[in-house]
Structure 1
Amino acid sequence: MTVSALTPATGRVTSAIQRAAQRTGVDFNYLLGQAKIESGLNASARASTSSASGLYQFVEQSWLAVVKKHGSEHGLGWAADSIQQSGGRFTVSGGNRAAVLGLRNDPEVASLMAAEHASDNKDAIEASTGRTATGTDLYMAHFLGLGGARTFLSAMQNNPERSAASLFPAAARANRGVFFDSDGSARSLGEVYQRFAGKLGDGAAPVGAASPSDRLQFAAQALAMGDENTVVTGAGESATDALAWAKSTLGQIKGSQAQQASLLRPTPANARLAYMMLARMGN
């Protein structure tokens, strides 16, 4: 795998996700993993099979619901106030429909709403299952809706070998790559769940606010590159030297300073680590 240089768009998106995690307490790894799955960190992504759009691929009704509930908390009172619910559906008044739906393509707003949505789903799933929700649980709620996720998790607990497509035929028609293998065979509930867990990576773990040591572990994993990787360097430095420096610096930080250190602090060493991490994630 080759690590490409950090682009302004990728940096802006990743920074927006980090700020949303800090403001809401939702785990950064989960939010980042979800955005990678949904859009490949492309804030302008649009689905061809549904109304989904933006960094987190919110469909229209889910987006209007979360903005109605949480928009005012994040300076979007005008948007929340223009959304009404009637007969179980949300509509937008005052000619604001395009503007409100267009917010899905703003990485700052999309990240905040995705975090709030995840937080709401976490509470509901934990109340339903009686256990700590994992990032994969939350992703199922985003993918299938909260009701669908509850049905999925309950059915998987009873019979993980059951065909997922038989339980969610409409979702399977719109997402064949999720519900079926390349040879056309149907994936089981357990297989679909583990597939998403694998894609989420660190974000699949039980969800909570990320600590400094969590962020350091993420940094180490982000820089754990094999021989076939190309590291983004500067000033003519070799990839080998750059990687050695990064590992050495992480080792120092992960020692006695682990509880105090943060990759977000504006020190030269941490700034360089952050750049290398973001460049790694941009690939």
Structure 2
Amino acid sequence: MESARDDVRSAIGAAAQRTGVDFSYLLAQAKSESGLNPTAKAGNSSATGLYQFLDQSWLAVVKRHGTEHGFGWAADAITPKAGGGFTVAPQYRQAVMNLREQAGPAALMAASYASDNAQSLNRSIGRDATSTDLYMCHFLGLGGATRFLQACNSAPNASAASLFPREAQANRSIFYDRSGGARSLSEVYSLMGQKLANNGADTVGGAAAAGGASSFGVEAGDLVSAPPTTGTNGFRLAVDDTIATDPSTSGDIAQTLAALEQGRMNVLRPTPAQAKLAYLMLSMPLT
């Protein structure tokens, strides 16, 4: 169990480095949303994975950011619908949706989503977005969060449920206290901030950088250049088989494993070569 949680933390750390989004925010959000369980599923919606992306929210962020993170095959399989929303090529749908249940892809998409929201919020609310602001985006969507924050600034004591009745009906524990009283906008905001703070996030400082340059030296398309293969053992990332099976990489792999064992490699701040090799190692089929 601890090993699995360490893997999740490493994936979140890699996403934070690659996108410039604060690690403590991404970790706290994952703790709050899923308890760091990459395969968590909501009982009353399509929310799935580490960050509990709904189906359509997931398709939207993969369509927008999949290619830059090496999931071009997934982005290409997603098509916007004329009336709104997205559809997926049938032969790739399950593979695209299964990415939500892998810590690496889920963390990268959550970080990219947060970065997009931070840039939009900075313009809308006239200040740097905090972790709580970004969590409101994850909860209400960018449009809903912008409306919430603007209303909270002008009328903090107004009933949150009266402004967001549909969301309140689906999330009574957020919008109402234990006695059934409706919480104000400021009380809901404070509650959401406390959820993050309880899981270790800095809810005061900015959570996302304006940019998001990769610090790995891995270009889009290097990691997953073809649709994934699936089988009885589940989904795995696909890379060029000639790379994954090239005997010349065995020495590098041995050195990397030795560095990990001896504590000489920082998994949250790997060198570009270590990061790329780690992805190749993860993509190899189990024997």
Q: Same fold (TM over 0.5)?
A: yes
Alignment deviations for residues 205-255 of structure 1 (CA, whole Å, 9 cap, x no partner): 22246xxxxxxxxxxxxxxxxxxxxxxxxxxxxxxxxxxxxxxxxxxxxxx
Aligned to 1:228: none
Distance in 1 of aligned mates of 2:263 and 2:76: 44
- Which of 150, 159, 182 aligns to 1:186? It is 182
Aligned pair partner of 1:173 in 166, 169, 186:
169
1:15 aligns with 10
1:76-130 deviations in whole A, cap 9, x for unaligned?
0110000000121101014211211111110000000000000000000011111
Pair 194,266 (structure 1): closer, same or farther in 2 beyond 3 Å: farther
Q: Mark the runs of 5 or more structure 1 residues left unpaired by the alignment.
A: 1-5, 210-264, 272-283
- The one-letter amino acid of 2:152's match is M
Is the aligned partner of 1:106 residue 2:95? no
Once the 2 structures are TM-superposed, how far is the Cα of residue 184 of structure 1 from its aligned partner? 1.1
Q: Offset at 1:157? A: 0.6
Task: Describe the SS at the equivalent of 1:95.
Answer: helix
In structure 2, give the amino acid aligned to 1:152. Answer: F
Q: Structure 1, residues 23-55: CA drift from partner, whole Å, max 9, x if none?
A: 111000110111111111111111112111000
Which residue of 2 is the match for residue 58 of structure 1?
Answer: 53
Is residue 45–residue 57 contact of structure 1 (8 Å, CA) maintained in 2? yes
* Contact 1:33/1:203 (8 A) holds in 2: no
Q: Is the 8 A contact 1:32 1:203 kept in 2?
A: no
Q: In the aligned structure 2, how far is the partner of 1:119 from the partner of 1:270?
A: 28
Give the deviation of 1:269 after TM superposition: 10
Quote the residue 2:41 is aligned against.
46
What residue identity is the alignment partner of 1:27? Answer: D
Q: How does 1:145-164 map to 2 (within 5 A)?
A: 145-164=141-160
- Which residue number corresponds to residue 195 of structure 2? 199
Q: 1:154 to 1:56 in 2, by over 3 A?
A: same
Q: Is the 8 A contact 1:38 1:55 kept in 2?
A: yes
Q: Residues of 1 paired with 2:4 and 2:11: CA distance?
A: 11
What amino acid is aligned across from residue 117 of structure 1 in structure 2?
Y
Tell me what 1:97 maps to.
93
Residue 267 of structure 1: how far off its partner (Å): 8.2
Other-structure match for 1:31: 26
Asked whether the equivalents of residues 126 and 133 of structure 1 are also in contact (C-alpha less than 8 Å), the reply is yes
Task: Please give the alpha-carbon distance, in whole angstroms, between the structure 1 residues aligned to 2:97 and 2:186.
Answer: 34
Within 5 Å, give how 1:72-151 maps onto structure 2: 72-86=67-81, 87-151=83-147
5+ residue gaps, structure 2, are 210-259, 267-287
- Structure 1 distance, partners of 2:261, 2:13, is 15
Alignment CA distance shift 1:162-1:269 (3 Å): farther
Change (3 A) 1:54 1:268: closer
Provide the aligned length of Structure 1 versus Structure 2: 211
Task: Provide, for residues 135-163 of structure 1, a one-character-per-residue CA deviation record: whole Å limited to 9, x for no partner.
Answer: 11101011100000011001101111111
Letter in 2 for 1:207: A
Give, in whole Å, the separation in 1 of the partners of 2:134 and 2:185.
Answer: 15
Identical-residue share of aligned pairs (%): 56
Confirm or deny: 8 A CA contact 2:176 2:182 kept in the other structure: yes
Contact 2:115/2:208 (8 A) holds in 1: no
2:157 and 2:185 in contact (8 A); partners too: yes
The 3-state SS of whatever aligns with 1:84 is strand
CA distance in 2, matches of 1:88, 1:28: 32
Q: Provide the C-alpha distance between the structure 2 equivalents of 1:37 and 1:62, rounded to a whole number of angstroms.
A: 18
- Residue identity in the other structure for 2:169: R
